[in-house]
Structure 1
Amino acid sequence: MPSPAFSAPTPRRALAALGAAALLLPLAACGDDNADSSGSGGRTELTVLGAASLTDVFKAAGKAYEKEHPGIRVKFSFAGSQALAAQVEQGVPADVLATADTTTMHGVRSETGKPAVFARNRLVIATGEGNPKKVKGLADLTESSLKVVLAAPEVPVGRYGKQVLEAQKLKVEPVSQEPDVRAVLSKVELGEADAGLVYKTDAATVPGKVDAVGIPDRQNAIASYPAATLKSSEHRKEAAAFVRWLSTPPAQKLLRKAGFQHP
């Protein structure tokens, strides 16, 4: 009988270093790059810390939000949810936190307002374009000849991956464990790995570069995305309005278009 599984976890010290490095990540701004970060000119600047898998859809959402709310400028910082939580705990100035799981959000509950789930997601197996190794399902990831990359188990997508593999009693020996889902996707896209577990929405961001092999619902995991205001925010009212907006039809339409599921 195959043994339950996942490979040896990434050392805590290495992940702590990744979290610290995330503190130095530049903020990606929507709107006028010449706008004063202090919110001068009558505009309030909101800083949103977003899970890496939200990168593309949140950039589009930020532009849509600014169009609907001319007095607001939205800036983003994207990283693995665990790195974002580290930023919050270190007191990095921000207004909103959006993670790829409820576990990470719960871990910083003393720093946030009440979270609201605004989207859900599922895992797929990302392979090279054309699926050259003919990967058909989770069981194929155990093949010793296959170079598999996974996210570290401390990362939401890594935790979900660990969950689905253990549920099927599959032992996978990854060639590397990455700090977020985009790093896993990049390894597959660049040909440094034959396959990796990523979110369905991330695989969809690189059409023609990777293929996505579906995982049956009975074997899959549902990823829940909550957002919450930060108690340290200097713009609590505006931050709360942005969190509420994520559940409105305009935002939900953008999320559906990107492949996210209804909350």
Structure 2
Amino acid sequence: MLQLILAVIFRTLGSLILLQITTLVLELRMRFLVLNDSILRTATPHGDKRFSRILLGYVRQPDLVSQLKVERLHHAHAVLQRAAELLQRHFGITLVLHVTTALSSLTYGAYELLVMWVAPEKSYATLVNDSKASAATWLTSHLLNLVAVVLSCSATVDEAERTRDLVVRVGTLQGRPYLSAGMEPLLMQALTCRPLSFEAAGFFTIDRNLLVSTLCVTITYLVILAQISLN
């Protein structure tokens, strides 16, 4: 009973921490989305409509755009970059533990299902859990947790890269003098700052390639464990 209570507490805390990380990362993505929308709404009314549609995929009727709004865009971009840096610094070790736990859980969960499917007579001697439903639930939960973190980080990085692309393309539009002067600091800042990427305390990068690497490692270790134990 005590072991069950500790397991439930551990899983609950892990789920809450994962929810917090995912929520903060998606909130950062929404902030980048708002910044990109502000760039489009600020720049497109002052250029050629056909050129804006080709480069930016966005055309808006001209309206009053204040000089203050243009000049504050690079301030917003700098704040978002700083927020991403602080977010990684705060959750770096947590992401390392989460990914390594998910990798080990996926490997062992897949091994449990393989043994119960191929050699059920050995499940009582080699496995901690002898229930297929429980093993499948364990495997699926860790897989979904890993996918949620990876896809949220990848979506945020894609939106940040879209900011760089938009700023470069807006630079080719012919705008008003104060518009060009306001976009120039944002252009220089977007081109000189380091591209956004989520790293787990410097050990590895949280992106879609991590899912492929995790799948390859899981299959490799599963084959090795199957050859050792089932033979």
TM over 0.5: no
Scaled by the length of structure 2, what TM-score is found? 0.24
Structure-1-length-normalised TM-score: 0.22
Structure with more strand by fraction: 1
* Larger fraction in helix: 2
* Higher Cα radius of gyration: 2
